[in-house]
Amino acid sequence: MAEHQDHLASVVTYYDTHPINEQQIMHALRARGIDLDHLTEDLLKDYDQDHFGGLQATDVLAAKAGIKKEHHVLDACSGMGGPARYIAHRIGCRVTGIDCTESRYLSAIKLSKLVGLETLVNFVHGDALDMPFEENSFDAVIAQEAWCHVPDKARLIAQCARVVKPGGVIAFTDILCTDKLSNGDMRRLRSEMTFPELETISGYARLLELSGCTLLEHDDLSNVWTKVLEDRLLMYRTLAEETERNFGAERAREWDDAYAFFVSRFRQGRLGGARFIARRDRGPVLEDAEEAL
């Protein structure tokens, strides 16, 4: 338990000092002459999507998950809520987000209120490994490149399977390791990117099966993400002065070094990524899934 709490604290620190944050979003909106008193989701959506592939990636995930207006969707590790707001606004469904970082959680609430989506979108400050939701609460669970920060993937998948309705969908993307990733690489990613462990495509498939789900499809996004990440590294570098101003010169240098290393491991095929679409077929028992490992 103490180890898990220490890891949560490191993830919180990582995102509390992330270059993309509420202050940076507001600054970018003002720089474009956007009146924050009349902010809409149609305007905000181009500034608050902190995941790989932007709006198009979220559109694909939502389509493959079969999300409809009458659905209630859970975004597990929702950050500042960009995808949750976008899906709710575009489709008209309800979305609940859960995230362990209080600053991200508070920003998600604030931004949602600014664009008038607080009746469709709500957020919970909590741990995805101990979700405060009843069984069979959601029609779909989504996530985008967030579960790499979660240490116990078996429990995470089992929690998602517990809260999604029978026949519901778990649709997510995540960063993966390959057999080329060295122990030294992993130590640095653990320290600098707060990735306690990384899964593989086959590893996630097994965890989904153990939690009573059927993997319907998966798409290897490694090559696509390599280009996306190269572009993101350049984008982060345009924010270097703002990052230094907000968090200090040392953190700005640390971020650049860490992200450049991260991108290099994609270029070398040591890291990859994929999208997973799974259906819950039977009622999972959390303890059974964990014991099977």
pLDDT tens across 15-32, in order?
Answer: 999 999 999 999 999 999
Q: Which two three-digit tokens encode residue 66?
A: 């079969």
Instruction: State the average pLDDT over residues 36-40.
Output: 95
* In contact, 271 and 262? CB cutoff 8 Å: yes
* DSSP character string of 206-217: HHHHHTTEEEEE
pLDDT at 191 over 90: yes
If we measure between CA atoms, which residue out of 135, 100, 107 comes closest to residue 121?
107
188 C-beta neighbours (distance < 10 Å), count: 17
Share of the chain above pLDDT 70, in %: 96
Q: Is the pTM of this model over 0.75?
A: yes
What pLDDT is attached to residue 282? 73
Beta-carbon contacts of residue 36 (< 8 Å; ≥ 6 apart): 26, 29, 30, 114
What is the C-alpha to C-alpha distance for residues 171 and 153, in angstroms, rounded to an integer?
Answer: 15
Average pLDDT over residues 132-138: 97
Those residues whose C-beta lies under 8 Å from the C-beta of residue 138, and which sit 6 or more positions away, are 71, 72, 73, 74, 96, 163, 164, 165, 168
Q: Does domain 2-291 have CATH number 3.40.50.150?
A: yes
Q: Is the pLDDT reported for residue 292 higher than 50? A: no
Cα separation, 293 vs 289, whole angstroms: 7
- Average confidence score pLDDT of the chain: 95
Asked whether the predicted pLDDT for residue 87 surpasses 90, the reply is yes
pLDDT of 164 strictly over 80? yes
Residue 3: the pLDDT is 86
3-class SS at 122?
A: strand
Amino acid code (one letter) for 30: R
Out of 1-5, 79-83, 285-289, pick the least confident. 285-289
State the pLDDT at residue 2: 80
* pLDDT tier at 153, thresholds 50, 70, 90: very high
Helix (H, G, I), strand (E, B) or coil at 80: coil
Q: Supply the pLDDT for residue 83.
A: 98
Rounded to an integer, the average pLDDT of 76-103 is 98
Q: Identify the pLDDT of residue 283.
A: 58
Specify burial of residue 194 (Cβ count, 10 A radius: 0-12, 13-18, 19+). Answer: buried
Q: Kindly state the average pLDDT of the residues 109-115.
A: 98
Looking at per-residue pLDDT, the higher value among 226 and 287 belongs to 226
3-state secondary structure of 48: coil
Ramachandran sector of residue 8 (left: φ over 0; alpha: ψ -120 to 50; beta: rest): alpha
Residue showing tokens 């429990």: 155
Helices first, then strands: H and E counts in the chain: 13, 7
What average pLDDT does this structure show over 172-180?
A: 98
Is pLDDT above 80 for 65?
yes
Assign 54 a pLDDT band (cuts: 50, 70, 90): very high
Pairing between β-strand 138-144 and β-strand 271-280 as defined by DSSP bridges: unpaired
For the ranges 7-11, 119-123, 163-167, 287-291, the lowest mean pLDDT is seen at 287-291
The answer to whether residue 287 scores a pLDDT higher than 50 is: no
Would the pLDDT of 175 be above 70? yes
The answer to whether the Cα torsion of 107, 120, 59, 201 is positive or negative is positive
pLDDT at 256 over 80: yes
Domain borders along the chain are: 2-291
What's the rounded mean pLDDT across residues 135-162? 97
